Chains A and B, each alone.
Chain A
Amino acid sequence: MDMRVNNKEKMKLVMVGNGMAGVRAIEELLKLAPDLYDITVFGAEPHPNYNRILLSPVLAGEQTLDEIVLNDWAWYTDNGIKLHAGWKVTEVDRVQRTVSAENAQGEKVTAPYDRLVMATGSNPFILPLPGKDLQGVLAYRDIADTQAMIDAAKKYKHAVVIGGGLLGLEAANGLMKRGMQVTVVHVSEWLMERQLDKVAAQMLQASLEARGMQFRMSAQTAALVGNDSGRVSQVEFKDGTQLNADLVVMAVGIRPNTALAEKMGLHVNRGIVVSDTLQTVTDPRIWAVGECAAHRGIAYGLVAPLFEQGKVLANHLAEFGIGRYTGSLTSTKLKVTGIDLFSAGDFMGGDGFEEIVMSDPAGGVYKKLVLKGDQLVGACLYGDTVDGSWYFKLLRDGRSVADIRDKLMFGESNIGDVGHQGQSRAAAMADTDEVCGCNGVTKGAICKAIKDKGLFTLDEVRKQTKASASCGSCTGLVEQILMFTAGGDYSATPKLKPMCGCTEHGHQAVRDTIREQKLLTVGGVFKLMNWRTPNGCASCRPAVNYYLISTWPKEAQDDPQSRFINERSHANIQKDGTYSVIPRMWAGETTAAELRRIADVVDKYKIPTVKVTGGQRIDLLGVKKEDLMGVWKDIGMPCGHAYAKALRTVKTCVGSEWCRMGTQDSTQMGKDLEKAMWRMYAPHKVKFAVSGCPRNCAEAGIKDVGIIGVDSGWEMYVGGNGGIKTEVAHFFTKLKTAEEVLEYTGAFMQLYREEGWYLERTVHYINRVGLDYVKKKILEDEPLRQALWAKLQAALEGEPDPWFDLQDAKVDTRQFEPLTTA
Chain B
Amino acid sequence: MTAWKEICRVEDIPVLGSRRVARDQGIDVAVFRNDADEVFALLDRCPHKGGPLSQGIVFGTSVACPLHNWTIGLCDGQAQAPDEGCTPRFEVKVDSGMVFLKADELLTHATDLTRSVAGPVLRKTNTA
Contacts and interface: CB of A to CB of B under 8 A. Distances in A.
Interface stretch (A117-125, A239-247, A375-383, A532-540): A532-540
B12 A569 contact: no
Contacts of B82: 445, 448-449
Contact of A577 (B15, B19, B23, B115): B115
Contacts, number: 105
Contacts of A578: 118-119
Given A564-B57, A569-B55, A574-B118, A820 B14 contact: no
B66 interface: yes
B22 interface: yes
A565 B7 CA distance: 23
B52 to A, nearest CB: 4
A818 B49 CA distance: 21
Interface in B1-50: 5-8, 12, 14-17, 19-23, 28, 31, 35, 49-50
Contacts of B59: 533, 535-538, 541
Interface string A100-144: 000000000000000000000000000000000000000000000
Nearest to A568: B55
A452 interface: yes
A538 B106 contact: no
B117 A576 contact: yes
B7 A821 contact: yes
A818 B35 contact: no
A621 B50 CA distance: 18
B51 to A, nearest CB: 7
B49 A821 contact: no
B56 interface: yes
Interface in B68-90: 69, 71, 82, 84
Interface in A768-822: 812, 814-815, 818-821
* Interface magnitude class on chain B: 35 or more
Nearest to B81: A31
Contact of B66 (A573, A622, A812): A573
* Interface magnitude class on chain A: 35 or more
A576 B119 contact: yes
Contacts of A660: none
A238 interface: no
A609 interface: yes
Contacts of B21: 818-821
A561 B49 contact: no
A539 to B, nearest CB: 8
Contacts of A609: 119-120
A560 B16 CA distance: 10
Contacts of B66: 564-565, 573
B98 interface: no
B16 A538 contact: no
B45 to A, nearest CB: 9
Nearest to A559: B16
Contact of A537 (B52, B64, B116): B64
Given A538-B56, A575-B118, A609-B119, A818 B84 contact: no
A622 B118 contact: yes
A48 interface: no
B116 A575 contact: yes
Contacts of B15: 561
Give the one of B28, B55, B71, B101 with max A CB within 10 A: B55
Nearest to A465: B82
B49 A575 contact: yes
Interface string A554-570: 00000011101100110
A573 B67 contact: yes
B106 A561 contact: no
A577 B51 contact: yes
A576 B116 contact: yes
A373 B108 CA distance: 67
A621 B71 CA distance: 27
10 contacts: A533-B60, A535-B35, A535-B59, A537-B64, A542-B57, A561-B14, A576-B118, A577-B52, A577-B55, A814-B19
Given A537-B59, A608-B120, A609-B120, 8 more contacts: A533-B59, A534-B60, A569-B55, A576-B116, A814-B19, A818-B22, A818-B28, A821-B6
Interface of B: 5-8, 12, 14-17, 19-23, 28, 31, 35, 49-52, 55-60, 62, 64, 66-67, 69, 71, 82, 84, 101, 106, 115-121
The 9 closest A-B pairs by CB, nearest first: A538-B64, A576-B118, A818-B22, A538-B57, A565-B55, A577-B52, A565-B66, A608-B119, A561-B16
